[in-house]
Chains A and B, each alone.
Chain A
Amino acid sequence: MQILVCAGTGCQASLSEELLSQLNSEIEANELENDVQAIRTGCFGFCEQGPIIKIMPDNTFYTQVKPQDATEVIQEHIIKGRRVERLLFTDPETKEKIADSRKMGFYKKQMRIALRNCGFIDPDNIDDAIAKDAYEALGKVVTEMSPEEAIETLKKSGLRGRGGGGFSTGLKWEYAFKNRADQKYVVCNADEGDPGAFMDRSILEGDPHTVLEAMAICGYCIGADKGLIYIRAEYPLAIERLKTAIVQAREYGLLGKSIFGTDFSFDIELKYGAGAFVCGEETALIHSMEGERGEPTVKPPFPAESGFMGRPTNVNNVETFASIPPIYLKGADWFAKIGTNRSTGTKVFALAGKVNNVGLVEVPMGITLRDVIFEIGGGIKNGKKFKAIQTGGPSGGCLTEEHLDTPIEFDTLLAVGSMMGSGGMIVLDEDDCMVEVSKYFLDFTVEESCGKCSPCRIGNKRLHELLEHICKGNAEESDLDRLRNMSTVIKESSLCGLGQTSPNPVLSTLDNFMNEYLAHVIDKKCPAGACKELMNYVISETNCVGCTACARVCPVNAISGERKEPHFIDISVCIKCGACMDKCKFDAISIQ
């Protein structure tokens, strides 16, 4: 029997390492070492319910397991063969306990290609990965296929870049292949800078070998013997696992000289980022790897012509690489049949925000947003009303109720004013103010703009200021036109993808939530009650019993009134901290 313990970042943060060592000491104490193994694996995806353990072969899925639960799991499940009911997942709707993960709403509609091994193998053990077919595709490609054939297969599969651009991966490889040079490079973009997206990190932490394998395949196809992984310094665990994986792959001869007995050689090195969102753009990323400021340059020349050190370079992101080995094992037709005509295969999304089941989900392209939010995501947290879903991070847009039945594809999302991006999906509910949300994204862009071109450097700052005025009730209706005009100018005149997409959150909320903007500028009200400056705390005379609790907790003495008489808030003094409302036991204080 095996006990798989999730050691992804989310579960580690809720003590899964302690849980693992507790399980191991229980196994030892009961002398079960020969029958039971507790194994550290990558992310199961269901981060909301972490730490998660799964017992194989019977597929029992335990959620929110604490280190002190280890004894019961071993005593009951392993020794006596009885499930620990209280640790099973409870379906939020039917209240039914579900033991088998395959029957859970969260997993039912998922299909795992890029994440196929995450949560099933020990990422620090190459034998585990090999047992799940790691490096088999590499072997097949280098021994049975010519680079041209291998590129053709990839083109036929229809795979498009998962990092945001959605460009055909096969075509990209072909360009790099056709550019002749003494030295070429394969680069893996693991600088996942999108706030709220963690699919690349989970792949690297859960199945690092698949990325190494796909990079080697790419090296063979384009004629490169050197691979570089550009990874964020903020991902220490992923860095450690990659380092271990590279060492093991070299020991097994799967990286290094004459791989699979052929004359193909390939090796991989890590390069560290240092926290700059713009480095997700390929030219900026290449400059950063060269030790420079990560500023983008005009394309052409494309990296495929002149990239790292001026040599032809192919850059793909982690998820794209992770989707490649199965294409060679199962065939381009198999992959092309999944998803839709123009967006084949599956896509990993980081589902987060006001949704019940936060986590990492991989779904076939073409599935609707409704399925993702309500079936897989289990609906909105605390029974609130769905308002919007933000896709594509700071470059994407907010979609509404009317878009819920839109199939998720590269082109359909663009058509409705958002984008696939790297796969962040943040669900927003009725308490979120859409003006505030666009301000949040602009705040991010302003901080991350590299400053090289003026539309992005100055324009985004001005957009942010306008949004701030709106949130504070200092804007007029004409400012909304300025907001739209400026957004369009920034989009059209910025140098790189960052500036060309940064006004998207503003434009899409203007399109879809004009009423909220109007409420802010005309009525000076925030319908969601999120913009502090636009709300007032008031005490209801009928509910207030004059207990003075609120007056005592007020940090600025804005509340006055006699004992046992209704109290009042002096709005000119109130700093809107909300302390009084938290303190009131009689529901007498409300926001207006």
Chain B
Amino acid sequence: MSSIKIELRQEDVNKIREICDSFNNDHQELINILHKCQQHFGYLPAEVQEVVSDCSGIPVAKIYGVVTFYSFFTMTPRGKHPISICMGTACYVRGAEKVLDEFVKELGIKAGETSPDGKFSISSLRCVGACGLAPLVLVGDKTYGRVAPDDVKNIIKEYEEL
């Protein structure tokens, strides 16, 4: 599990309880519970999983198994401006890898990592279905289409001041 230890505040614990209760602590709803928790915390650290286990009675090992199985769930905090580069086939053949490399070079972090100041994180994702705009980059909810490696600097600049 992640090495970063965090301490949950009482209100966070209450929030998790509230989420679990809203699904009647139903074991079948585990994935939905985790979706809601990730929406709230931005990620699913071990501590959150432990509370979910306490509330729902699902063993924490099983929760960990589910969290690590699905790529949508993450145990590391994402940056304030999460950058996702689409690596679907259509984007890939139109040069998405070069765009990803450029982000890695500019920000000095690898895919899957978050910059030390917590501002940016890079991840690759599989097809958002806007293949007409390939290659595609998402920063938060904003979409950038037909991105060339040369555009990368400017995209980062937009968010540096924010």
Contact = CB atoms under 8 A, between A and B. Distances in A.
Indicate, yes or no, whether A interacts with B.
yes
Interface of A: 9-10, 12-14, 46-50, 192-198, 201-202, 233-235, 271-277, 288-294, 350, 352-354, 358-359, 390, 393, 424, 426, 428, 432, 437, 440-441, 444, 447, 450
29 contacts: A13-B133, A47-B130, A50-B133, A192-B129, A195-B126, A196-B89, A196-B90, A196-B127, A197-B127, A197-B129, A201-B129, A233-B35, A234-B128, A271-B32, A272-B31, A272-B35, A275-B72, A275-B126, A288-B31, A291-B66, A292-B66, A294-B70, A353-B90, A354-B94, A358-B132, A359-B132, A424-B89, A437-B93, A450-B69
B73 interface: yes
Nearest to B126: A195
Given A195-B87, A274-B35, A291-B28, 8 more contacts: A9-B130, A10-B133, A192-B129, A273-B72, A426-B93, A428-B93, A440-B92, A450-B69
Interface of B: 26-32, 34-35, 65-66, 69-73, 87-90, 92-94, 125-134, 136, 143, 145
A7 B87 CA distance: 23
A291 B52 CA distance: 13
Contacts of B71: 274-276, 447
A437 B94 CA distance: 12
B129 A393 contact: no
Contact of A353 (B31, B72, B94, B128): B94
B89 A198 contact: no
A288 B28 CA distance: 9
A290 B27 CA distance: 8
B16 to A, nearest CB: 16
Nearest to A232: B72
Most buried by B among A274, A288, A293: A274
Most buried by A among B66, B70, B94: B70
B43 to A, nearest CB: 13
A12 B141 CA distance: 11
Given A275-B72, A353-B94, A195 B88 contact: yes
B127 A195 contact: yes
A422 to B, nearest CB: 12
Contacts of B93: 353-354, 426, 428, 432, 437
B145 A13 contact: yes
A395 B38 CA distance: 31
Contacts of B128: 9, 234
Contact of B129 (A202, A277, A441): A202
Most buried by A among B34, B35, B134: B134
A390 B133 contact: no
Contacts of B32: 271-272
A350 B132 CA distance: 10
A61 to B, nearest CB: 15
Contacts of A432: 93
Given A13-B136, A274-B31, A440-B92, A293 B69 contact: yes
Most buried by A among B28, B29, B66, B89: B89
Contact of B131 (A196, A272, A428): A196
A78 to B, nearest CB: 27
Given A196-B127, A233-B35, A293-B66, A358 B134 contact: yes
6 cross-chain pairs, A with B, having the tightest CB-CB distances, nearest first: A47-B132, A198-B129, A274-B70, A352-B90, A196-B89, A13-B143
B158 to A, nearest CB: 16
